[in-house]
Structure 1
């Protein structure tokens, strides 16, 4: 999914406003009341909607965490989404040189860390060229704002610990699987070690997605009980073949219309439930309303509070 600058995201949030409520759920807490926070008390999204069919407004996924308000894919972004009252966060995982899964979007480290300063002779600074210990030295927050200086790139294990602590759920993207042989097995291994492959997590709290159809097929083959999503917009004629190994079609908003959403919903996914459609990356209120009217099941957004207000 595309990158969006913090400045543009914050400007959009300021212009559109924030707040409004969805249905409260058990264990909800008072959300953050700082800039970009939702108003009201005790608001959480209904977590089970992301994996199974149910009525109601679209599920709102915090894209790379609440990435309009904190540096993307960091624990700070996860915590910000939590304070805003959002159960579902989306992230990206890649493999280091020593085969450790880290949470970062770009296949190189330049945009969101100070890697060029710390390792000036290591161009092109690809994630796969660095060890986990080297990446742990990088500042992944200063690019976003001085208050986040010293924020680190988390490992997937660290990320899972934090969202478990926050009682959040995960839409996990396997990034660029074509350059990371074995990343599917490695991802499932970490998820299993951290307790995320038990029935409760699998049923309600975990979805694995990728732009690589082959990667999602591997996940489905290795753990057929896990909910999976394909990132992209397959032709309508091809949807049935994707439904054999995916439960969701997660498509760019600019690529879909009402007929496409209906075509997806007319099929059953890999687990015999209605094939679902989540759309990305929707960051403003008018587009969120349009997406809702198309009948999408979920909206992936950098500004989850803005989207919640629009569709709530």
Structure 2
């Protein structure tokens, strides 16, 4: 029998994931202004939160999607100390800034291109991972929430981010001290971090991210070359490579963004039936991204994909209900926003 899939929704601010491996869960991911918009996922019934981590110059784990501070997302306010040579901080790498410098930034005052309905939260700061765990623990005292947490490491340019061991050791230390320790899936495009995390803790769930930019780049795949695997198809080789690094989940892009020459409205498939089947044969789940067309979602459902990530969570939620997927219960709005208020006073 075909297993029910996970259905996810992803955007610059929001990724909602509806999983039905053994029931249904909902994941929300905020790639910046995380704590504020996480409220939307909790209130709407999310059961999994997804986020990216960077490592600061002084070794703090922050929740941030990019390797640097982008002017389109954040504004400088004041330097930490007078005549700080690193000021302005916008345009600098996360790895070259201290937590104190980063938390002077206003990352809630600019609406992102392509997201005209995005609400603004002037003064919103970049939080640490521990601060986010504390906020969610307040709103989720029974600790039902699940997590997908990504290491934002650049495998091509080692000087742009902290190294593999820095990411793994510092992230894991916070994981271990959190009440959510056993609720975390660790994911990355840089498969070296997946190997290192499994070596540190073989019980942690890992997810291998892959797309058209990394599939033929051994530096992203922990030195692996796909043509060294039997395949025979590329999709099967991807599954075999992910299995070789002991990943529990393979998370490929669903389609290549270059339109098919036969039909400009069509994209070339990256996730295929053979990929899904091979991953399942090897005991892995498959969660493709970013699926913004329901005909592709239908196809992935037929193939038995375990996850679908999209920019349109509201549409996907309705689609999920039509497919018979249950929706997670909502968190009490008053409690969630009370916890947010306390959190924002501390960040």
* TM > 0.5: yes
User: Aligned Cα RMSD in Å?
Assistant: 2.9
Residue of structure 1 equivalent to 2:54: 94
Matched, 1:132 2:99: yes
What per-residue deviation string (whole Å, max 9, x for no partner) do you get for residues 202-241 of structure 1? 2xx2100000111100000001110111001664235334
Residue of structure 2 equivalent to 1:84: 44
Matched, 1:266 2:277: no
Residue of structure 2 equivalent to 1:23: none
How many residues get paired? 250
Unaligned runs of 5+ in 1: 10-37, 39-43, 269-274
TM-score using structure 2 length:
0.64
Contact 1:73 1:105 in 2 (8 A): no
Unaligned runs of 5+ in 2: 1-9, 80-85, 112-117, 156-160, 216-233, 256-269, 322-347
- Taking a change above 3 Å as real, the CA distance of residues 307 and 73 of structure 1, as seen in their structure-2 partners, is farther
Matched, 1:159 2:132: yes
The structure that is helix-richer by fraction is: 1
CA distance in 1, matches of 2:253, 2:18: 22
Matches within 5 A, 1:1-312: 54=21, 60-64=26-30, 72=32, 74-110=34-70, 111-115=72-76, 121-122=88-89, 124-144=91-111, 147-164=120-137, 165-166=139-140, 167-176=144-153, 178=155, 179-181=161-163, 182-197=166-181, 202=182, 205-232=183-210, 235=234, 236-237=236-237, 239-244=239-244, 245-254=246-255, 255-268=270-283, 275-312=284-321
* Bigger radius of gyration: 2
CA distance in 2, matches of 1:277, 1:263: 10
CA distance in 2, matches of 1:73, 1:229: 24
Contact 1:73 1:92 in 2 (8 A): no
TM-score using structure 1 length:
0.71
SS at match of 2:73: coil
- Taking a change above 3 Å as real, the CA distance of residues 287 and 140 of structure 1, as seen in their structure-2 partners, is farther
Contact 2:276 2:305 in 1 (8 A): yes
CA distance in 1, matches of 2:173, 2:250: 25
